[in-house]
C-alpha cells in the first residue's frame, strides 16, 4: 500500500527533527573546538587547519562507508548506529590537553560522517521525485536551525565564562533525543529509478569537490571575527549567523520553483562572492564580516538542498552508495581546502580567502558546463 503524502511528510519531519536535536547538541562542540585548540590550548592556527583536514579528509571514508552500508544493511540501521556514537563529541569538554580533545572530537565526528549518507538515503526512500527537493530543504533547515540554537547558548555560556568541562558534556542529551527520533521513523522502500545519467552524477561529484575546497571549516570565519573584533564571544556568534542563514534558506529553497542546477550554481556563486568579501572587509570587524557569513550560510543551504536532490533524481539504483560518494566528494574538497586554508591563513588571511574564491568559481564553471551539456 502506497503511503499518503501526510504519512510521508510525518516521517520526513521525524528525520528532520532527529537532525535538529543532534545539531542542537554537537554543533556547540564544533563551534567551541577552534576556540578550545587555539585560545585555550594555544595551538598554532595551521595545526588547527591540519586537524580539520583530517576530520573531513579521513571522515570522507566514513561517509563512503556509511553509504555502502546503507544499501547493504538498511539506511535506518546505519543512521541510528552512527547517530548514537556522535555523543563522543560531547566528551571533548573533559579533555585535559589538545591531544585528548582532538581524539575525542575526531571519534565523534567520524560517526557523524557515517550517519549522514544513510540519513539522506532514508529521505530519498520515503519520498517521490517531486517531493524530494522539499524534503531535503526541510531536513537541512531543521538540521542547521538546531545548530543555530546551539550557538546561541554556547555564545551566552562563553560570555558568562561557563567552563567547557561543564557545558559540553550536557550536549549528549539532545544528541540522544536525535537518535530516538530516528528509531521512531519508518524504514523506506528500496530505492530504484528508471532514470540514470552517469555524466550528471559525475559532474556533480567533481563540482562538489571544488565547492568543498572553497567552503572551508566555519572555524576560519570564527577565528577571523575573533581576531578582527578582539572578542571571542563575537567569534562564536559567527557560527550562529551562518547556521541561522542556512536554516532560513533551506526552507526557501525547498519551496522555490527553480531548476535544480540553476539553484546549485547560484549557491556556488554566492559562496565565492562571500569569500572574496573577507579579503576587503576584514578590517571592518563584525559589521563587515557578519553579512558575508550570512551569504556563506545561504550557499551551504543551496548545496545541501540541490546536490542530494539532483543525485537522487539521476540515480538508477544504489542510492546509498551515491549519497556516500556525494559526501566523499565534499570530504575530498574539505581535506584539501582546510589544509591549504590553514597554511595560507598563517601567512595572511588575504591569501586564504582568495584561494577559496577561486575554488568556488571553478565549481560554478563546472555547473555551467554541465547545464549546457544537458540541454543539448
Q: Domain map of the chain by residue range? A: 5-375
This prediction has a pTM of 0.78
Q: Is the dihedral of CA 18, 24, 28, 29 positive or negative?
A: negative
- Tell me the mean pLDDT in the region 248-270: 90
Q: How far apart are CA 183 and CA 80, in angstroms?
A: 7
Per-residue exposure over 167-190, b if at least 16 CB sit within 10 Å of its own CB, e if not = bbbebbebbbbbbebbeebbebee
C-alpha cell read off for 133: 527537493
How sure is the predictor about 190, in pLDDT bands with cuts at 50, 70 and 90?
low
* Per-residue pLDDT at 65 exceeds 70: yes
Q: How far apart are CA 174 and CA 272, in angstroms?
A: 34
CB contact at 8 A, 271 and 299: yes
C-alpha cell read off for 242: 551562518
- Tell me the mean pLDDT in the region 188-198: 58
**pLDDT at residue number 243:** 80
Under DSSP, is residue 137 helix (H, G, I), strand (E, B) or coil?
helix
- Tell me the mean pLDDT in the region 177-182: 96
- Tell me the mean pLDDT in the region 228-250: 83
How sure is the predictor about 196, in pLDDT bands with cuts at 50, 70 and 90?
low
pLDDT digits (tens, 9 = 90+) for 10-60: 889 999 999 999 999 998 998 888 888 888 888 887 788 788 777 877 887
Of residues 201 and 295, more confidently modeled: 295
Q: Selecting from 1.20.1250.20, 1.10.3720.10, 1.10.940.10, 3.40.50.920, what CATH number does the domain 5-375 have? A: 1.20.1250.20
Cell 580533545 -> residue:
101
Helices 319-347 and 59-73 sit at what angle, rounded to 10 degrees?
170
Q: How far apart are CA 300 and CA 374, in angstroms?
A: 24
Q: Reduced to 3 DSSP states, what percent helix, strand and coil does the chain have, rounded to the nearest 5? A: 85, 0, 15
Amino acid at each position: 500500500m502506497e503511503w499518503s503524502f501526510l504519512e510521508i511528510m510525518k516521517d520526513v519531519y521525524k528525520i528532520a527533527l532527529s537532525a535538529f536535536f543532534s545539531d542542537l547538541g554537537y554543533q556547540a562542540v564544533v563551534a567551541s573546538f577552534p576556540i578550545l585548540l587555539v585560545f585555550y590550548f594555544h595551538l598554532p592556527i595551521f595545526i588547527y587547519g591540519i586537524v580539520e583536514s583530517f576530520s573531513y579528509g579521513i571522515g570522507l571514508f566514513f561517509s563512503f562507508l556509511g553509504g555502502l552500508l546503507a544499501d547493504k544493511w538498511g539506511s535506518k540501521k546505519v543512521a541510528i548506529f552512527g547517530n548514537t556514537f556522535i555523543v563522543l563529541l560531547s566528551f571533548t569538554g573533559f579533555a585535559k590537553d589538545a591531544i585528548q580533545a582532538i581524539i575525542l572530537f575526531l571519534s565523534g565526528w567520524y560517526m557523524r560522517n557515517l550517519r549522514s549518507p544513510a540519513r539522506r538515503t532514508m529521505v530519498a526512500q520515503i519520498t517521490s521525485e517531486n517531493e524530494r527537493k522539499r524534503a531535503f530543504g526541510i531536513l537541512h533547515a531543521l538540521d542547521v536551525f538546531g545548530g543555530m540554537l546551539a550557538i546561541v547558548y554556547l555564545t551566552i555560556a562563553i560570555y558568562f565564562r561557563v567552563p567547557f568541562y561543564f557545558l559540553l558534556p550536557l550536549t549528549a542529551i539532545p544528541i540522544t533525543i536525535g537518535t530516538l527520533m530516528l528509531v521512531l521513523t519508518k524504514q523506506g522502500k528500496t530505492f530504484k529509478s528508471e532514470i540514470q545519467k552517469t555524466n550528471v552524477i559525475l559532474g556533480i561529484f567533481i563540482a562538489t569537490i571544488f565547492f568543498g575546497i572553497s567552503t572551508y571549516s566555519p572555524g576560519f570565519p570564527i577565528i577571523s571575527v575573533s581576531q578582527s573584533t578582539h572578542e571571542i564571544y563575537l567569534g562564536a556568534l559567527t557560527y550562529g549567523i551562518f547556521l541561522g542563514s542556512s536554516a532560513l534558506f533551506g526552507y526557501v529553497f525547498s519551496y522555490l520553483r527553480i531548476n535544480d542546477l540553476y539553484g546549485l550554481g547560484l549557491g556556488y556563486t554566492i559562496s565565492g562572492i562571500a569569500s572574496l568579501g573577507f579579503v576587503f572587509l576584514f578590517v571592518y570587524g563584525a559589521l563587515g564580516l557578519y553579512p558575508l557569513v550570512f551569504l556563506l550560510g545561504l550557499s551551504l543551504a543551496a548545496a545541501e538542498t540541490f546536490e542530494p536532490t539532483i543525485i537522487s533524481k539521476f540515480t538508477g539504483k544504489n542510492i546509498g552508495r551515491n549519497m556516500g560518494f556525494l559526501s566523499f566528494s565534499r570530504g575530498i574538497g574539505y581535506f584539501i581546502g582546510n589544509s591549504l586554508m590553514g597554511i595560507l591563513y598563517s601567512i595572511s588571511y588575504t591569501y586564504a580567502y582568495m584561494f577559496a574564491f577561486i575554488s568556488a568559481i571553478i565549481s560554478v564553471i563546472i555547473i555551467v558546463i554541465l547545464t549546457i551539456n544537458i540541454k543539448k
